[in-house]
Chains A and B, each alone.
Chain A
């Protein structure tokens, strides 16, 4: 019995280490954001539609909103675009866009052709703002509450299923959302 004890203990330890490793890393491409539960980074950026206007974190206080990082160069963003239009049409929650490292002309052209789901769009031409939000790919969507706290982050294109299963549960019930706006 004694001679099996040490190998067994070592084996058990290895099992525990691997179990933790597997449990802690469900998907390597989905890195959890440390910003959840924190305030949004303060920002004040030019608006895509009217560069003389600005879109700022201050203006957005007091309302629930989705903060969607996108770019016309991003194929997955084009994939989620119909779903964003759907969400905007349903009036569930306003969508604020962050046009990331994009050309203004192409972005405007794209929205004209495909439809514009955004209430406002901030422009991050050089990519400085995206880093402050911990963005590492597009699309990424943050759910922000009226206090300006990030309550959830969805990485990847929003599919109808992701909207219902992942994002909607983090938003208040419909009547509260409309009362706030």
Chain B
């Protein structure tokens, strides 16, 4: 009984944990500061092969090469900005998960705000109009025979 129970509990747990063994082995940077920057950088770059994954999550070998490149550049003393520039100048802005604010991407950043303002204005207009309708209903009671009634 006891063995069966543990098998029933353990097996799903182990199966659930199995993919963790395949996850990318953490690589140590020489200092904690570099480690923090490394982690932040690899989460900010897109894996160009499996485009919806970051370099941090991607198991493909190109992502491993890019992580190695980032490690080398960090250890060589490059700034985050220099590392981003290195990749953007070769792969384009597409490699960044967070696109920069430049002329070409301005609409991307401004559109949500513009839509919010448009929405707010239309909501205010609709609410005002409704309020006015209610007010006018109260002021002038309609003297009318109900339509369904024959006179």
Contact = CB atoms under 8 A, between A and B. Distances in A.
Interface in B103-123: 107, 111, 115, 118, 122
- Interface centre among A31, A101, A137, by most B CB within 10 Å? A31
Nearest to A31: B94
A136 B65 contact: no
B90 A31 contact: no
Contacts of A29: 51
Given A34-B89, A34-B92, A131-B66, A136 B49 contact: yes
Interface in A126-156: 126-128, 130-134, 136-137
Given A136-B48, A136-B49, A131 B89 contact: no
Interface residues of A, number: 24
A130 B51 contact: no
- Interface of chain B, helix or strand or loop or mixed? helix
Nearest to A73: B61
A130 B65 contact: yes
A136 B62 contact: yes
A10 B90 contact: no
A174 interface: no
B36 to A, nearest CB: 23
A10 B114 CA distance: 11
Contact of A127 (B48, B62, B92, B125): B62
Interface of A: 6, 9-10, 13, 17, 20, 28-29, 31-35, 101, 126-128, 130-134, 136-137
18 contacts: A6-B125, A13-B118, A17-B107, A28-B51, A29-B51, A31-B94, A33-B92, A34-B89, A126-B65, A127-B61, A128-B65, A128-B68, A131-B62, A131-B69, A134-B92, A136-B48, A137-B48, A137-B62
